[in-house]
Structure 1
Amino acid sequence: MTDPTNPARTRPGNEPLVDLRGITVEFPGVKALQDVDFRLFPGEVHALMGENGAGKSTLIKALTGVHALDTGEIHLAGEPVSFAGPAQAQAAGISTVYQEVNLCPNLSVAENILLGREPRRFGAINGWAMRARAAKLLSRMGLTIDPGSALGNHPIAVQQLVAIARAVAVDARVLILDEPTSSLDAGEVAELFRIIRVLRDEGVAILFVTHFLEQVFQISDRVTVLRNGKVVGEHDTPKLSRITLVSAMLGRELGVLAEVERRTERRAADPAPLLVAEGLGRSGAIEPFDLEIHAGEVVGLAGLLGSGRTELARLLAGADRADTGRVLLDGRPLRLRSPRTALAKGIAYSSEDRKAEGLVSDLTVRDNMILAMQAARGWARQVPRRTADELVASYLARLDIRPANPDAVVGTLSGGNQQKVLLARWLITRPRLLILDEPTRGIDVGAKAQIQQVVADLAADGMAVLFISAELEEVVRICDRIVVLRDRHKIAELSGADAGVDDVMELIASGSTRVEVRS
Structure 2
Amino acid sequence: MTDSAARGEPDVVLRLEGVTKVYSGTVAVKNADFFVRRGAVNVLVGENGAGKSTLVKMIAGVEGPTAGRILLDGEPIVFFGAGDAMAHGIGMVFQELNLFGNLSVAENVFASHEIMRHGHIDHAEEERQTAALMERLQTGVNPRAMVEDLMIGQQQLVEIAKAVARDARILIMDEPTSALSAPEVEILFRVIADLKAKGVAIVYISHRLEELMRIGDYITVLRDGRVTGARRMDEIDLHWIVRQMIGSDAKDFSSAGDHRLGNEILRAEDICLTRISGGYAVDHVSLTVRAGEIVGLYGLMGAGRSEFLECVMGRYPHSTGRIFVGGKRVRERDVGSRIARGLALIPEDRQRDGLVPILSVAENLTLASLKKLAKVFHIPARREAQQVQREVRDLSIKVADPALPVSSLSGGNQQKVVIGKALMTEPKVLLMDEPSRGIDIGAKGDVFRIMRRLAAQGIGILFVTSDLEEVLALSDRVAVMSQGRMTALFDRAEVNEAKVVAASSIAHGPTAIVKPKELNA
Which bracket does the TM-score occupy, shorter chain normalised? Answer: 0.5 to 0.7
1:318 and 2:313 matched: yes
Which whole-Å CA distance do the structure 1 matches of 2:370 and 2:130 have between them?
60
Conserved in 2, the CA contact under 8 Å of 1:214 and 1:487? no
Which whole-Å CA distance do the structure 2 matches of 1:145 and 1:361 have between them?
40
- CA drift of 1:25 comes to 0.6
Match of 2:217?
Answer: 221
Report the TM-score when normalising by structure 1. 0.57
Q: For residue 230 of structure 1, what is the amino acid of its counterpart?
A: R
Which whole-Å CA distance do the structure 2 matches of 1:271 and 1:172 have between them?
56
- 393, 408, 416: which one aligns with 2:381: 408
- 146, 149, 164: which one aligns with 1:152: 146
Which whole-Å CA distance do the structure 2 matches of 1:107 and 1:316 have between them?
27
Q: Deviations over 1:420-452 (max 9, x none)?
A: 4xx7xxxxxxxxxxxx997442379xxxxxxxx
Which whole-Å CA distance do the structure 1 matches of 2:370 and 2:358 have between them?
16
1:492 and 2:472 matched: yes
Q: Deviations over 1:256-285 (max 9, x none)?
A: xxxxxxx99xxx64555545899x9x9xxx
Aligned positions of 1:88-103 closer than 5 A: 88-98=84-94, 99-102=96-99
Which whole-Å CA distance do the structure 1 matches of 2:101 and 2:356 have between them?
29
Which whole-Å CA distance do the structure 1 matches of 2:358 and 2:372 have between them?
13
Aligned positions of 1:90-489 closer than 5 A: 90-98=86-94, 99-102=96-99, 106=103, 109=106, 112-113=109-110, 115-116=112-113, 118-121=115-118, 124-125=119-120, 127=122, 131=125, 135=129, 138=132, 142=136, 149-150=143-144, 152=146, 155=150, 160-161=156-157, 163-251=159-247, 269-270=260-261, 272=263, 274=265, 295=291, 318=313, 339-347=335-343, 371-372=371-372, 407-408=380-381, 413=385, 417-420=387-390, 439-442=395-398, 470=443, 472=445, 479=453, 488-489=467-468
Which whole-Å CA distance do the structure 2 matches of 1:143 and 1:356 have between them?
31
- CA drift of 1:175 comes to 0.8
Q: Tell me whether 15-24 or 207-216 shows the greater mean CA deviation.
A: 207-216
Q: Deviations over 1:273-317 (max 9, x none)?
A: 545899x9x9xxxxxxx999765x69799xxxxxxxxx8997798
Q: Percent identity?
A: 28
Q: For residue 93 of structure 1, what is the amino acid of its counterpart?
A: G
Which whole-Å CA distance do the structure 2 matches of 1:55 and 1:132 have between them?
36
- CA drift of 1:47 comes to 2.9
Which whole-Å CA distance do the structure 2 matches of 1:320 and 1:251 have between them?
42
- CA drift of 1:32 comes to 0.5
- 71, 78, 84: which one aligns with 2:80: 84
* Partner SS for 2:203: strand
Which whole-Å CA distance do the structure 2 matches of 1:248 and 1:320 have between them?
42
Q: Deviations over 1:467-512 (max 9, x none)?
A: 98937479659839799997544343479xxxxxxxxxxxxxxxx7
* Partner SS for 1:231: strand
Which whole-Å CA distance do the structure 2 matches of 1:110 and 1:371 have between them?
41
Residues 316 and 118 from structure 1, CA distance in 2 versus in 1: closer, same or farther, beyond 3 angstroms?
closer
What count of residue pairs does the alignment treat as equivalent? Answer: 409
Q: Deviations over 1:152-182 (max 9, x none)?
A: 3795666655554543444411011223333
Q: Deviations over 1:371-412 (max 9, x none)?
A: 0488xxxxxxxx8x5xx99xxxxxxxxxxxxxxxx743778x
Which whole-Å CA distance do the structure 1 matches of 2:200 and 2:50 have between them?
26
Q: For residue 479 of structure 1, what is the amino acid of its counterpart?
A: R
- CA drift of 1:331 comes to 7.4
Which whole-Å CA distance do the structure 2 matches of 1:139 and 1:104 have between them?
19
Residues 316 and 241 from structure 1, CA distance in 2 versus in 1: closer, same or farther, beyond 3 angstroms?
farther
Q: Deviations over 1:21-50 (max 9, x none)?
A: 211111122110011111121112233223
Match of 1:49?
Answer: 45
- 45, 60, 63: which one aligns with 1:67: 63
- The Cα RMSD (Å) is 6.1
Q: Which runs of 5+ in 1 are unaligned?
A: 255-262, 283-289, 302-310, 375-382, 390-405, 424-435, 445-454, 496-511
* Partner SS for 2:84: helix
- CA drift of 1:221 comes to 2.9
Conserved in 1, the CA contact under 8 Å of 2:294 and 2:474? no
Report the TM-score when normalising by structure 2. 0.57
Q: Deviations over 1:310-353 (max 9, x none)?
A: x89977983878x9x99875579979966545445444679997
Which whole-Å CA distance do the structure 1 matches of 2:360 and 2:130 have between them?
51
Q: Which runs of 5+ in 2 are unaligned?
A: 251-256, 274-285, 297-305, 401-419, 437-442, 476-496, 501-521
Which whole-Å CA distance do the structure 1 matches of 2:134 and 2:335 have between them?
47
Residues 473 and 110 from structure 1, CA distance in 2 versus in 1: closer, same or farther, beyond 3 angstroms?
closer
1:35 and 2:8 matched: no
- CA drift of 1:135 comes to 3.8
- CA drift of 1:230 comes to 1.8
Conserved in 2, the CA contact under 8 Å of 1:36 and 1:231? yes
Q: Tell me whether 47-56 or 352-361 shows the greater mean CA deviation.
A: 352-361
- 8, 15, 23: which one aligns with 1:12: 8
Residues 40 and 299 from structure 1, CA distance in 2 versus in 1: closer, same or farther, beyond 3 angstroms?
same
* Partner SS for 1:479: helix
Q: For residue 58 of structure 2, what is the amino acid of its counterpart?
A: A
Which whole-Å CA distance do the structure 1 matches of 2:361 and 2:241 have between them?
38
- CA drift of 1:151 comes to 5.0
Q: Tell me whether 61-70 or 25-34 shows the greater mean CA deviation.
A: 61-70
Which of structures 1 and 2 has the bigger CA Rg? 1
